[in-house]
Amino acid sequence: MKNIAVIAHPLVAHYLTIMRDKRTPSKDFKSALDKISYLLAGIFYSELKGENVNIETPLKKTTGKLIKQEVVLLPILRAGLGLTRGFTDLFPDIKVSHIGLYRDEESLKPIKYYFKFPDIKDKSGIKVIILDPMIATGGSVSFTIEYLLDMGIKDINVVSLLLAPEGIKAIENRFNQKDKKKIKIFTCSIDEKLNEKGYIVPGLGDAGDRIFGTE
């Protein structure tokens, strides 16, 4: 995959290290993820295009820029919820869609249990941001991307914390060249590998369980 950007930001690395540490309790894990979500949103939103508008300050008429682009955030439940705060706080006009997926423990294949997308007529101009801290086998994110491609969406962005090399290969093999041009992946680290249970190594453990204290 050519369209993978690894975010190198000292504060992202700082909070990611806190999250990787097995001694970090759930409340601090969640808080570090929240901080990262603001940093990633700031970096990601620097791509948005503002439109010129005429306004009047208390002193004179002038022009400014406002973002009018249709942007949809799509956290993959559950763990993707942990990355939403920064994105919604910094740009409250964003619409939030949800997809519920969990990995079957044996097959590691994603099972869908929920999907809700905003009612936007022309889907071809929408920018979608999929949020999922972990891309392991790549099954969950590929399933979600396929869903969006089938809906006619052409600007698909994935924001993650950790990406496994196996996940990159799976995405690479699943989509054709034309569809790959519609996909961009942003991650904070490409880790070493998956273990025999499909967990990212060194990773940070089970993201959903650590966020929601369900370990």
Please give the residue ranges that form the binding site for ligand URA (CB under 6 A): 79, 134, 136, 199-200, 203, 206-208
> Binding to ligand PRP by residue 158, rule CB under 6 A?
no
The interface partner of residue 32, options being ligand PRP, ligand URA, none and the CB cut-off 5 to 8 Å by kind, is none
DSSP SS3 for 161: coil
DSSP string, 16-84: HHHHH-TT--HHHHHHHHHHHHHHHHHHHHTT--EEEEEEE-SS-EEEEEEE---EEEEEEETGGGGGH
> Binding to ligand PRP by residue 103, rule CB under 6 A?
yes
Q: Name the one range near ligand PRP by CB under 6 A: 11-19, 98-106, 118-126, 145-153.
A: 98-106
Distance CA 62, CA 120 (A): 32
- For tokens 């079957």, the residue is 104
Which region, left, alpha or beta, applies to residue 125 given φ > 0 means left and ψ of -120 to 50 means alpha?
alpha
Residue 157 structure tokens? 């962005």
Distance CA 104, CA 181 (A): 29
Candidate list 32, 40, 76, 130; residue touching ligand PRP; CB under 6 A? 76
Distance CA 102, CA 84 (A): 18
Report which residue's Cβ sits closest to ligand PRP.
Answer: 208
The interface partner of residue 75, options being ligand URA, ligand PRP, none and the CB cut-off 5 to 8 Å by kind, is none
Nearer to ligand PRP among residue 126 and residue 136 (C-beta): 136
Candidate list 9, 78, 85, 95; residue touching ligand PRP; CB under 6 A? 78
187 backbone dihedrals φ, ψ, rounded to 5° = -140, 165
How many residues belong to the site for ligand PRP (CB under 6 A)? 22
Nearer to ligand URA among residue 72 and residue 76 (C-beta): 76
Per-residue binding string, ligand PRP, 110-149, x by CB under 6 A, is x---------------------x-xxxxxxx---------
Judged by the rule CB under 6 A, the positions of this chain that interact with ligand PRP are 76-79, 101-103, 108, 110, 132, 134-140, 167, 198, 206-208
